[in-house]
Structure 1
Amino acid sequence: MLRIFSLLLIFFGFTFSVNADDWRPTVKEADWVQLTSGEWLRGDIKAFYNRTLEFDSKKLNLLEIDWEDIQYLESHISSIARIENHGVATGKIQLSGDTIKIINDEQTLEFNRDELISFITGEIKESNYWSGKISLGVNVRSGNTDQKDYTAKANIKRRTSKTRLILDYAGNYSVVKSVETINNHRFNFSLDYFKTRHFFYKPIFGEYFRDPFQNLDGKLTIGSGIGYTIVDDHKTEWSISTGPAYLYTQYSSALPDESQNESNPSLSFSTDYETEYSKTLDILAKYSLQVSNKESGGLTHRAELTLENEITGSFDLDISLILDRIGSPRANSDGTLPEKNDYKIVISVGYDF
């Protein structure tokens, strides 16, 4: 009798363990995620991009989970997903192991999990596509030196399953004893259309730059090109792009025998690198090169290295080292030639949204 009882315990124990491993939650009013550790999370899936899942839990708040740490996933409402070499698909998302399913009333599509590029769940609102960061810095000195320095930076992005719009602004303004010593502004924009996960077109990109202290009353660049994403994983993103452009330059002043306006073709090249070095530190590096004739400045370089240190929540302490170089600066009307190189160290507080 004891032997039979022991066999029954072993049988039911084995059955229970199998059922526990195979258990799946009922997905009705919430989304479910199972980690590779076996733990389950209940909440709302917000989005997936750059190999990271945004998951909102009532107890744990908003989480960012690495794609490699997810074993099972199921959403209770429809999503818009972008699949490599397929395009856009709409439906409820279910991930199990290496297989991802997109289920709607008409069909069920199956793909390998590595083919998923991005998706957004829930009611699709315009605000779902936008994100950005604003940084401000102020330095005030008084006493023997009366100086005020102001810096401002803004980066705004709109991302959909196929497109990416980027808007950038950087401005610097300084006054020493009521005398303006720095006053420059730079605005960049680009529109990217992704043909595949890595290759994208740039139907249009542009830049406006103004710095009277470099004898530039205004410099406008408008172009079109192509780009390629070299690395795109849950921690690092690195892309390059290039294309021809039209360049218009308005100088603040010029020598009597030189024109104050220049219009010329140019060639632009840029690369952007961003990596999550640690949980609280991101490293960003940008470099751009513009090739034009001597009258429009020759070779123009811009390099920027930024360390973003998380203070708390959405606030960062940003430290940037910036180099601007104009290969052939234009002399002012009095013959003064601006320096080729400008160096800046900018410390600011940034807010992510």
Structure 2
Amino acid sequence: MLLAKLRNPLTAVFTLLLVLLANAIKATGPEVDFGATTTPVAPMPSWKPSPEIADDDDWIELTSGEWLKGEIKYMYDEELVFDSDKLGDLSIDWDDIKQIKSPRKMSFRLNNRTTVTGHVHMEENGELEIKGVDGEILADDVVSMVPEEKGRFKNWTISISIGADFQTGNTDETSYSASAKFNRRTALTRFNLSYLGNYSKNDGQVTTSNQRANSYFDYFVDKRLFIRPIFAEYYRDRFQNINFQGTLGSGIGYQLYKSSNVEWDIVAGPAYQVTRFDTVVAGSKKTVQTPAGLFVTTVNYDITDDLTYDGNYQIIFTSKNSGLISNHFVSTLSYEINDLFDINTSLIWDRVQNPTEKADGTFPKKDDFNLIFGLGFSY
């Protein structure tokens, strides 16, 4: 009867298809009541590490709800460096951390320039619960944080690089180079000890022989400003006519720039230098002592996860008899092969503005350049 009332055959076919489709939907699914209300589904509780799991590991929860397991290395200037078991070293913004659970003692440097130590548990509201410390501490009050590990090297960073080159035939040449750096960082202080040495021989004659070792200690007054109460350096280069040179000084430093992958420091201050020359002309002093001025700038740049650049430029102003102006620049590019070994390429420039005349009447060249390739070990 329905088809009889439809004069257009196409309309009849289309209507029949709609009826068949409606019956098919009704047969395969429940009837939908568009006027009915839906019951809201309660969100699932976020996962948290149990106390048993967290006994031997540090855990951090990000504001995104993600949990990371591993080891807290340090926190400084709003950045937490975390060694994840699966992801390696991570730099995480302090504001992106929601919770911290750690079984280890931590040392905290606060905004009021006090230091507290204890087992830490950071709650979701940003409050730090430090065992043995009375009062409320907020995450925003923390300037730096480092694990306090007694009898271990957790606060130390060690890197050693060795290079060698051998050539035989028409020319017999042997070259060696070695460098080492030892750094220790706490919530308040920074210590550095470094060594650099080069030696080469060509057809039985020594053509390069120099050594440099220096050390300094920094005390941070706040996030950027630090005091360097002591700086000491030993230098020897007989081809620069320097048998011994010792420099002792102090200074004030400032961190010009700090981000998750770049650090740039400058230091300036007074110093005192003693130089003993290898040979001198008749009538000249073999040992010279002089007040000095010291300026140092250091740049560390993590270009990628595997590629790192370190630059250090040092300039010392002295009397004319001691060289007037001494420059020392080291530029190193390191590629990380794995967690222990690196490939290092270093360019070293040394310049003495006023070299001291030797006993034979000759003067050393003002500039020395060295390009060094080496295999490094880091911890």
Structure 2-normalised TM-score?
A: 0.83
Which residue of the partner structure matches residue 249 of structure 2? 223
Alpha-carbon distance in structure 1 between the residues aligned to 2:225 and 2:282:
48
Alignment CA distance shift 1:62-1:323 (3 Å): same
* 1:46 Cα deviation from its structure 2 partner: 4.6
Contact persistence 1:48–1:120 (CA under 8 A): no
Which of 148, 151, 176 lines up with 2:174 in the alignment? Answer: 148
Contact persistence 1:74–1:92 (CA under 8 A): no
- Please say if 1:342 is aligned against 2:371: no
Q: Which structure has the larger Rg?
A: 2
Contact persistence 1:81–1:88 (CA under 8 A): yes
Number of residues of Structure 1 aligned to a counterpart in Structure 2: 341
- Please say if 1:41 is aligned against 2:68: yes
Contact persistence 1:137–1:151 (CA under 8 A): yes
- Please say if 1:73 is aligned against 2:100: yes
Alignment CA distance shift 1:103-1:130 (3 Å): same
Which residue of the partner structure matches residue 319 of structure 1? 345
Alpha-carbon distance in structure 1 between the residues aligned to 2:130 and 2:83:
20
SS at match of 2:136: strand
Contact persistence 2:70–2:82 (CA under 8 A): no
SS at match of 1:213: helix
Alignment CA distance shift 1:223-1:44 (3 Å): closer
Alpha-carbon distance in structure 2 between the residues aligned to 1:43 and 1:163:
25
Alpha-carbon distance in structure 1 between the residues aligned to 2:252 and 2:188:
15
Which residue of the partner structure matches residue 120 of structure 2? 93
Contact persistence 1:101–1:108 (CA under 8 A): no
- Please say if 1:104 is aligned against 2:127: no
Contact persistence 1:45–1:54 (CA under 8 A): yes
Which residue of the partner structure matches residue 20 of structure 1? 45
SS at match of 2:265: strand
Which residue of the partner structure matches residue 28 of structure 2? none
Alpha-carbon distance in structure 2 between the residues aligned to 1:157 and 1:325:
27
Contact persistence 2:107–2:117 (CA under 8 A): yes
- Of all paired residues, the percent bearing the same amino acid is 31
Alignment of 1:120-269 (within 5 A): 120=147, 123-269=149-295
- Please say if 1:55 is aligned against 2:83: yes
* 1:43 Cα deviation from its structure 2 partner: 4.3
Structure 1-normalised TM-score?
A: 0.88
* 1:125 Cα deviation from its structure 2 partner: 3.1
* 1:98 Cα deviation from its structure 2 partner: 7.9
Alignment CA distance shift 1:242-1:26 (3 Å): same
Alignment CA distance shift 1:103-1:115 (3 Å): closer
Which of 23, 34, 39 lines up with 1:10 in the alignment? Answer: 39
SS at match of 1:196: coil
Alignment CA distance shift 1:26-1:217 (3 Å): same
Which of 321, 330, 334 lines up with 2:356 in the alignment? Answer: 330
Q: Which of the pair is proportionally richer in strand? A: 1
Which residue of the partner structure matches residue 279 of structure 1? 305
Alignment CA distance shift 1:238-1:333 (3 Å): same
* 1:326 Cα deviation from its structure 2 partner: 0.2
SS at match of 2:239: helix
Give the partner amino acid of 1:10.
T
Give the partner amino acid of 2:273.
L
Greater shift after overlay, 160-169 or 292-301?
Answer: 160-169
Contact persistence 1:100–1:113 (CA under 8 A): no
Q: CA RMSD in A?
A: 2.4
Alpha-carbon distance in structure 1 between the residues aligned to 2:376 and 2:361:
40
Give the partner amino acid of 2:118.
G
Cα deviation digits, residues 289-339 of structure 1 (max 9, x gap)? 111111000011112211111122221111111111101000100101000
Greater shift after overlay, 74-83 or 107-116?
Answer: 107-116
Contact persistence 1:206–1:223 (CA under 8 A): yes
Give 5+ residue unaligned stretches, structure 2: 1-31
